[in-house]
Amino acid sequence: MNRSPRRIPQGLLLGPLLGVTFLAFSYIRLIGDSQTALFDHAAYQAVFEGSILGTRLAELIGWFAAAQLLIHVVLGLGCWAMARLTLIAFPETTSTPRALTAFWFIIAAIWLLFSNAGNFPHSSLGAPYAGLAGTEILNVRLHSWITGLVLLGSGFVLAVALVKQCKALALAPIRRHAAWGAVPLVAVACAAAWPEGKIAPAPADKPNIILLGIDSLRYDETQLPGNASDTPHLDEFLVDAVRLENSTTPLARTFPSWVSLLTGRHPHSTGAILNLLPQDAMRLGATLPEILRQNGYHTAYAIDEVRFSNIDEKFGFDQTETPGIGAADFILGAASDTPLVNSIVNTSLGKWLFSYCYANRANSHNYDPQTFVTRVTDDIEYRSPMLLAAHLTLPHWPYKWRDSPDYTNSPGDPDAVRPRFYVDAVRRADQQFGDILDSLEERGVLDNAIVIAFSDHGETFGSQHDMLTPPGPEVLPSSGHGTTVLAPHQYRVFFAIRGYGSARANLGGARGAIEIPASLEDVTPTVLDLLNVPANDPVDGVSLLPELRQGLSSSPRLARRIRFTETEFNPRNLANIADPDAKVSASSLAEAAAYYRVDPETGRLEMKSHLLDELRRNRQYAAIGWTQMLGIFPRSDLSSHTFIAIDLGGGTPRPLRTAEDFRGDPEIAELWLALCRRYGAIINTGDQVVRCDSPAG
């Protein structure tokens, strides 16, 4: 007897097909953008020279594509399942399974589009409908009404279907087994809801070390006059902290700043002179986390943006909580902007399926600041004693996140020193800072801890008020960070240290602002001095512990300290940092892309090694003294450098051309000697009389 083949349930194939159709629709606007400069083929070809087949990058792109397809197929199957439940709940309906599958798909699509527009108004498909989705009806936004109605309707169908199914079965066995089956579920729920206990207290001689960085935070952004502070949590932290008002970074970019902080060494000592540096170009030596790990510490690091700052376990961390590092981060950022991905990316499922997008500040359209806070507070393994290093990047361009204010139609004063979009980003990062400290306090981490809060660099927005020199044809206001040594707000940093619990005594009870010249290079030697742990390698920074404990605003040993700063690689016209909506031109993107390569084994984006010497020559350098700065500037043809002296209080720059110009001022002569010792192999004086081997040098 031949059995007839089993028929595929009606509508089962239609559901996935509709889901894939929705995926294609989700990219409709991005496909349009593919013809714009941002997706210029020549620019991408410059980055990904040759085939990527068989590389790590290809694997990651394949995984992402499969995950996208999977969730949209599941969406379609969910619509088919709701169609089947509708037939069970209302058997008298004359609609077919296919028609009901299509009906539930339309409901799901409308809900996803409105939810996406309401919760992710800066996303590709959210921006056009954000105003409509945010319309308030009885003080409730339209997208919330739609969500409520969809949940209510689907919940009603599910409840009716369950009731009718239960009536058709023997209820007693079901009730009995359901009761026993509920026991483990209740146990799991209770365990999940049970408050997590405090970690074991840190040993008295080994306080927890907490490093909390805030990207692009200007040193003058906290404790502003007036009642409406932009940084209430940082201000509260500063009440019992020692704040180092005169602090700088040796290079105003995130990666070089963090490497200097973690090693105590200058970028030209470690080789970490730019972002996206080839791994073999660095000479890190013993890092702070490595040294502390050798002394019984658990070390952890977290950051929410890694496109240009590739810090990982190789720096001595036992655990890192970051987005995926590599070229895939650049590619998958825009590709992740679909309503369905946006709706799940900030969940545990999103973390597993889309690791390059979860808690990723670079994907500003779906980045939720609270997701990164959760990553720091819940995903980090807390032990005692421990070193926790975390970095918050919201105040960095493009100054947007999932539901940040939209200033497209009201940008405010374009010449403002602190534009509104930057202030809003600082406020939200300050909230993150406060939430993390509150969580650490609840866990008991702050019962015995030293907390160092800092910024990796500052930020400018093209305002003349931020420049040391008056405007002129050769000295123009500059935006961003690491773009000029003539804007102190780029290289001066926020820097404060505070003891909590039993560790307060380690700082001698000092608090308030002190003016000693400090650097991010000083963090490692200061922490090691606090813990009475020797450094494994020579450092360029100094321990600030004596001045911190006494609250000294002046120190004889640091009175004539010379610090250095420099600019970094700046592709022309790559982006206007003063405009969060700035567009990228094809030519500028191609110019930047020509400097990078993708490592086929790791999938990481790296600067091409043979270009490093050119990049060293094509940057500004400066030695910062006690009253003056000596700056070195490359000529347009990179044939040599020119030199100017500037008062740190501002004023007209003084060109330096002859040996006598340098010898005529003792401070400038000392700064020149320091520059020659630090950058002698790079400085090219051309046809000028003064050279590093001349009497002035």
| Cα angle 263-265-267, degrees, rounded to a multiple of 5 | 110
Q: 174 and 227: one domain?
A: no
Residues in contact with 523: Cβ distance below 8 Å, sequence separation at least 6, in sequence order: 211, 261, 262, 264, 288, 452, 454, 541
Q: Are 263 and 524 in contact (CB under 8 A)?
A: yes
Q: 186 and 283: one domain?
A: no
Measured CA distances, 50 to 41, 45, 57 (Å) = 13, 8, 13
**In a domain? residue 440:** yes
Domain boundary among 193, 226, 251: 193
Residues in contact with 259: Cβ distance below 8 Å, sequence separation at least 6, in sequence order: 265, 267, 270, 272, 282, 284, 311
Work out the angle between the directed axes of helices 171-193 and 142-167 (0-180°, nearest 10): 140
Domain boundary among 528, 547, 563: 563
User: Residue for token digits 């028929």?
Assistant: 7
**In a domain? residue 412:** yes
Q: 282 and 180: one domain?
A: no
Distance, first Cα to last Cα, the chain:
103
Q: 381 and 500: one domain?
A: yes
Nearest to 217 by CA among 483, 459, 523: 459
Q: What pLDDT is recorded for position 662? A: 77
- The SS3 of residue 191 is helix
**In a domain? residue 394:** yes
Q: 394 and 255: one domain?
A: yes
**In a domain? residue 451:** yes
DSSP codes, 518-555: EEGGGHHHHHHHHHT---SS--SS---HHHHHHT-S--
Q: What pLDDT is recorded for position 617? A: 84
**In a domain? residue 319:** yes
Which residue range(s) make up the domain with 43? 14-193
Nearest to 329 by CA among 289, 358, 370: 358
Q: What pLDDT is recorded for position 260? A: 97
Q: 176 and 221: one domain?
A: no
Domain boundary among 563, 587, 610: 563
Q: 434 and 559: one domain?
A: yes
**In a domain? residue 334:** no
Q: 25 and 145: one domain?
A: yes
Q: Provide the CATH number for the domain around residue 432.
A: 3.40.720.10
**Into how many domains does the chain fold?**
3
Per-10-residue mean pLDDT, the chain, length 697: 63 88 85 51 48 77 93 94 92 89 95 95 91 91 93 92 78 48 44 59 88 96 74 94 96 96 96 89 93 96 94 95 89 88 94 93 94 96 96 94 82 72 96 98 95 97 88 70 94 97 87 94 97 91 93 88 92 54 53 76 86 87 95 79 90 84 86 89 65 57
Q: 292 and 439: one domain?
A: yes
Q: 413 and 267: one domain?
A: yes
Q: Is the dihedral of CA 231, 237, 242, 244 positive or negative?
A: negative
Residues in contact with 89: Cβ distance below 8 Å, sequence separation at least 6, in sequence order: 157, 160, 161, 164
Q: 25 and 129: one domain?
A: yes
Q: 186 and 217: one domain?
A: no
**In a domain? residue 328:** no
**In a domain? residue 130:** yes
